[in-house]
Amino acid sequence: MPIIDVEDLTLNPQEVETAGEVIFERAYNESDLSEYHDIETGVTMKQQIVFAELMGMLGKKATGCTPNAADGFAMTEKFWEPVIEDFRLEQCQLDMPALLKLFRKAQRMNPDFYDAVGYEEFGVIIAAVETALLENMHRKIWFNDTVAATVANSGVFTNGTDLGYFNSFDGLFKQIFTEVPETSAQYVAITANDGDSYVNQKLAADAAFSIFEKMVEAADERLAGAEDAFILATRSLADNYRSTLRNKNLGAGFLEVVENGRPKLMFDGIEIKVRYDWDRNIKKYQDNGTTRHLPHRAIMTTKSNIPIATLSTEDLTKLDVFYEKYKKVNVIDGAYSIDAKHLEPYMTVAAY
């Protein structure tokens, strides 16, 4: 299949003539990765992350010449294990209808007709790939699972999903659900997730307010006191919370404010970042036909506690674009290394 499928386009004298007139479908999340994560660069292979436990109490009343013994502290570890992913897209100009005005008219066949690199029309393809690449990164960082399985195989992924796009490394949901299980003091239950149908999975009125309140109460004092703490939440929770804001007179710390022209949702002074892409991915890739897998989710943490690692941040956005003379195709190559880590469970509250 060619990169661009134009079967549904009508060719006529008034068709689109420039790439600037093409309207792209909007992405679900165009935010830079650094809005949510610290980014570690230069990570090429298994690399150690060391944690030092907080020391206990020190100092007792002296009773002789020998000082009182004090307890030490433990050190633990995790490892960065970045994986290398890549893709290639090839476009042959012969795949495009000769009448489509969006694509330039070459003055000669060889090589001008075939070589589109550097021309505006090929920029349409490059722009589409760049947008898709960023959205794919957001999806992988959160939803990847090395043992991903479809519903038919006792998993949670929608039947028919190509699991090769999900199983290269463990994403943050997999790690957080493991390290902040339902038995954890930092877990907040969302009972609507247990509904036996789409309708019964809907949130009750004011449910999100109660969930966010419990999350703040469950937070370790070090997380609660962190200036950079935020709550990441599905749109379902954010919309439910906004409904509460419209119907209740709450204080200034519970308002949706506009900062630099962008709405900013707050709960008790803590910013709630709405992850519309989470809702989209859950609906598309974690649906068993009757219910969705944990359709309502929220994570309270900090950027530094959910970092990602790569060899170079440029790899996550930069494409290798060239014309292959032998095959007479225009090529877009992408390659990058990527991993995500949930570092310290006490710095996370998970509601699911």
Tell me the per-residue pLDDT of 118-140, one tens digit each, with 9 for 90 and over.
776 677 778 888 888 989 999 99
Q: 211: closest CA among 223, 203, 220?
A: 203
> Mean of the pLDDT values across residues 56-72?
83
Q: Which residues pair with 337 in a beta bridge?
A: 84
The pLDDT value given to residue 4: 55
> Mean of the pLDDT values across residues 3-20?
48
The pLDDT value given to residue 12: 47
Q: For residue 52, what are its two tokens? A: 């030092």
Question: Is the predicted pLDDT of residue 255 greater than 90, yes or no?
Answer: no
Specify the residue for token string 């494409």: 319
- Angstrom CA distances, 75 to 253, 304, 318, 326, 327, stand at 38, 19, 38, 56, 56
Question: Is the predicted pLDDT of residue 323 greater than 80, yes or no?
Answer: yes
Contacts of 29 (CB under 8 A, 6+ apart): 134, 135, 138, 275, 276, 277
* Per-chain mean pLDDT for the chain: 86
Angle between helices 207-218 and 235-247 (to 10 degrees): 110
Q: Picking from 26-40, 227-241, 328-342, which range would have the lowest pLDDT averaged per residue?
A: 26-40
Q: Which residue has the higher pLDDT, 46 or 167?
A: 167
Q: Which residue has the higher pLDDT, 178 or 105?
A: 178
The pLDDT value given to residue 1: 52
Give the integer Cα–Cα distance in Å for 186 and 192. Answer: 19
The pLDDT value given to residue 175: 98
- Angstrom CA distances, 68 to 8, 72, 73, 74, stand at 81, 13, 16, 20
Length of the chain: 352
The pLDDT value given to residue 22: 44
Interval 22-63: pLDDT, tens: 444 554 556 789 999 999 999 878 888 887 777 777 778 888
Q: Picking from 3-17, 54-68, 328-342, which range would have the lowest pLDDT averaged per residue?
A: 3-17
Q: Picking from 92-96, 204-208, 269-273, which range would have the lowest pLDDT averaged per residue?
A: 92-96
The pLDDT value given to residue 8: 54
Q: Determine the Cα angle at 42 with ends 37 and 45, to 5°.
A: 100
CB contact at 8 A, 99 and 307: no
Kind and range of the H or E run holding 264: strand 262-267
pTM: 0.83
